[in-house]
Amino acid sequence: MKGPFATPLSALISALLFGPLFIQPALAATPSDYLIQSAVYQWYGELDLGIQPKATVNTDLAEYPTGKPVAGAHQILAIDQIAEENGRLLLEVELEYQARDAGPGEGRYLIQTLTLENSDSAPQAGPTLIASETQVNEIDELSGQFRPAAEQNLIRALLFRWTQALDYPGSQALTSMLLPEASFTSPEPGQLSPVSYQAALQALNNQNSRRAIKNLSIGTAQADGSYPVSLEYQWSAINQWGETELARVGVSMTVLVRDGRALIAHYQSQYLPPVTDPGAEIRC
């Protein structure tokens, strides 16, 4: 294979991991649309910072006594897609909410319906949230102290967007999620820049590329306000010969949250040996 990679993906995986596994393309897993999850986590992350939604968003904001967002914490429990029609997605989100100044036992249990709309002009940007309606708003006697969620939600939103950009390298530039001074190390030999690495991924012409996120860990804020993040990608893709290739990639990064967005300051990834104990994995 020509391009910036030192060896073809299949040869690299065969040498470092467990060799290419051949599967009929029809049996390959359907890629997860991480952009939907990213939009949901970004929405609640911004609310947790007290950011007022855009005027174009129709929402009741029922969890706020004044109807306006204040600093708080939305802990997302589940996201389910319940309908899709005319380019619009209807999601049901189950979550717990607690205001920053709330006392013990002063939480809310919520089920909210979110409406997301795909843009015909910029599909690579992902769906845009246009409405939120509260279906259930009950007292939830949350135990323990307030647990911040804004940064966690925004970091997860970033991770889903980043992963989508790796699976679909022609969609969104990795550089849009990196700080200008960020350091970047790809799992491939050589010093590939984010632009070169993404171009090399696109040149593979893979189909059904899917990086399942495993063993995600988001650490506590450091003295400089950054957050250490680690995860593992279990990557499968169908190459141009119809063969399914598998790999494990370990990722560590440092993330900063600025103006309602999470951005990567340091990114490092490397290929990992195969899993010998599947029970040791943790899903994202």
Q: Tokens for 220?
A: 């506590």
CA 112, CA 147: separation in Å to the nearest integer?
A: 21
Tell me what pLDDT residue 274 has. Answer: 79
CB-based contact 22:244 (threshold 8 Å): yes
Rounded mean pLDDT, 75-97: 95
Domains and CATH numbers, the chain: 9-30+151-158+168-280 (3.10.450.50), 34-148 (3.10.450.50)
CA 230, CA 239: separation in Å to the nearest integer?
A: 27
> Does pTM top 0.95 for this prediction?
no
Give 29-43 pLDDT, tens digit per residue: 333 589 999 999 999
CB-based contact 158:262 (threshold 8 Å): yes
* In the predicted structure, residue 18 carries a pLDDT above the cut 90: no
Give 127-140 pLDDT, tens digit per residue: 999 999 999 999 98
Tell me what pLDDT residue 281 has. Answer: 57
Distances (CA, A) of 234 to 19, 124, 209, 271, 283: 14, 23, 11, 10, 11
Give 154-206 pLDDT, tens digit per residue: 999 999 999 999 999 988 999 999 999 999 999 999 889 999 999 999 999 99
DSSP secondary structure string for all residues of 36-75: HHHHHHHHHHHHHTTPPPPTT-EE--TTSTTSS--SEEEE
What does pLDDT average to over the chain?
86
Where does the pLDDT of residue 280 fall: very low under 50, low under 70, confident under 90, or very high at 90 and above? low
Lowest mean pLDDT among 77-91, 96-110, 249-263: 96-110
CB-based contact 277:284 (threshold 8 Å): no
